Amino acid sequence: MRQIELPGTTLRSSILGMGCASLGSRYGTSTGLRALEAAFDRGITWYDVAPAYGAGEAEPILARFLKGKRDQVNICTKAGLLPPHQGYAKRLLMPVARPVVAKLKGLRSTIRQSGATANTRLPITPQMIETSITRSLVRLGTDRVEIFALHDPAPQDVNRDDVLRALERVIARGQARYIAVAGELPAALAGAASGHFSLIQTADDPATDPLDNILATAPGPIATVSHSVLGAGGVQARLAARLAGAPEWLTAARAAGFDGTTETVAAQLLLARAFVANGSGPVLASMFGAGHLAINITATRHNAVIGAAARSLVREALA
Ligand SMILES: NC(=O)c1ccc[n+]([C@@H]2O[C@H](COP(=O)([O-])OP(=O)(O)OC[C@H]3O[C@@H](n4cnc5c(N)ncnc54)[C@H](OP(=O)(O)O)[C@@H]3O)[C@@H](O)[C@H]2O)c1
């Protein structure tokens, strides 16, 4: 797996990172642990988690995975969102319901729309920040994380004095090595411009290439972590449909080494594009589903020239 040095930090990571938002919710403990081990065996050294992920189960499951390999991986956890409250009955039913829900996309979106899976946003205060990291470390079974991020903050909260002081105390106590903003573009830009944060994590939309903007805004070297490179706004499905209707693009992609079904080619093109678009940190993907890890790892193998060609093709196809 190709490695990347993160600008402005001493961190080094695989270019592909494992997103753990579904760990413990859509995917149960044993499937989740198997996928995490497979990712580690294939060279993935970045694991993105949060207290809210997996309905609150992602951090404790990740803790089990971390045993014996803590020093070999980077962990990013966050503060600002809590998982939805789950009653006893719902917790009992979860393992029974999970396989059905995982298979039925329509049911997943109905459950999402009902609000049953919505996280609770916490007001960003010094106390929330310090309590959150302390609890995350207990759940993760470790004494520090590499990155501690504000989770989906409002842009005006990012550079508040009291917030920055609390984050400084987290660093001073050794609970985290670097602080980050993990949120939507306005908050990401506010964090980058301030110069207070070492990392900025945000969605990378192929139509707008937001990471260039973030790097241009930052006063010094900064690391960027990108996500939603496949799924946001149905991009992968749109690209696959475009490829299916334009055989010359599909032939060109296949000639450049992007193999498989039209959907697989689309996923790999989007990832190859994302690795070129983000030269300053890992690209996150959720890869617990059958075959996704292997497809996404294949996409890491293309060189920069092929990646740049994928970037142009994706831009043109989605225009
Ligand atoms: N505010 C934030 O900081 C923030 C916001 C959003 C996301 N994130 C992080 O980023 C991670 C990834 O989130 P994302 O939004 O970017 O999701 P994603 O990786 O684009 O995944 C979306 C869907 O695509 C599927 N998928 C993965 N590889 C695929 C492939 N090769 N072909 C077809 N489908 C594929 C995934 O399936 P499976 O999971 O079933 O394999 C998942 O259902 C999250 O887990 C989280 O850690 C952070």
Domain coordinates of the chain in residue numbers? 13-83+119-233+279-302
Buried b (16+ CB within 10 A) or exposed e, 32-71: bbebbebbbebebbbbbbbbbbbbbbbbbbbbebbeeeee
pLDDT computed for residue 97 by the predictor: 65
Look at the block and give the residue holding tokens 């260039």: 212
% pLDDT > 90, the chain:
70
Q: Which residues pair with 18 in a beta bridge?
A: 47, 285
Ligand 1: which of 286, 288, 301 to mutate, most ligand atoms within 8 Å of CB? 286
Kindly report the CATH number that applies to the domain delimited by 13-83+119-233+279-302.
Answer: 3.20.20.100
Cα 125 to middle of ligand 1, angstroms: 29
- Coil/strand/helix, residue 178: strand
pLDDT (0 to 100) of residue 84: 83
Residue-level pLDDT at 318? 82
* Ligand 1 site, CB within 6 A: 19-22, 48, 151-152, 182-183, 201, 227-228, 230-231, 267, 284-289, 292, 295-296
Q: Whose C-alpha lies nearest to ligand 1, atom 21?
A: 286
Among residues 223, 244, 231, the alpha carbon closest in space to that of 15 is found at 223
Specify the pLDDT at position 3. 95
Cα 51 to its chain centre, rounded Å, is 14
Residue nearest to atom 8 of ligand 1 (CA): 227
CA 144, 286, 291 angle in degrees (round to 5)? 130
The confidence score (pLDDT) of residue 79 equals: 98
Please choose from 117, 227, 263, 278 the residue to mutate so as to test ligand 1's pocket, defined by most ligand atoms within 8 A of CB: 227
What's the N-to-C CA distance of the chain in angstroms? 31
Distance CA(310)–CA(257), nearest Å, equals 11
Sign of CA dihedral 50, 54, 56, 58: negative
Could you tell me the distance, in angstroms and rounded to a whole number, from the CA of residue 100 to the centre of ligand 1?
Answer: 20
Q: Which residue puts its alpha carbon closest to atom 3 of ligand 1?
A: 182
Count the Cβ atoms, other than its own, within 10 Å of residue 312: 11
Question: Contact, 50 vs 22, CB < 8 A?
Answer: no
Q: Which residue reads 């496949």 in tokens?
A: 230
Does an H or E element contain 77, and which? strand 74-79
Ligand 1 nearest-atom number relative to CA 285: 19
In angstroms, the CA 186 to CA 312 distance is 26
Q: Quote the ligand 1 centre to 313 CA distance (angstroms).
A: 22
Per the CB < 8 A criterion, the answer to whether 49 and 180 are in contact is: no
Residues (pLDDT < 70) of the chain are: 86-117, 231-232
Per the CB < 8 A criterion, the answer to whether 203 and 227 are in contact is yes
Question: Closest by alpha carbon to 25, among 117, 87, 132, 110?
Answer: 117
Nearest atom in ligand 1 to the alpha carbon of residue 230 is 20
Which residue matches tokens 């990155």?
Answer: 147
Q: What pLDDT does residue 105 have?
A: 63
Task: Return the ligand 1 atom nearest residue 227 CA.
Answer: 16
> Is the CB of residue 185 less than 8 Å from the CB of residue 212?
no
> Whose C-alpha lies nearest to ligand 1, atom 15?
228
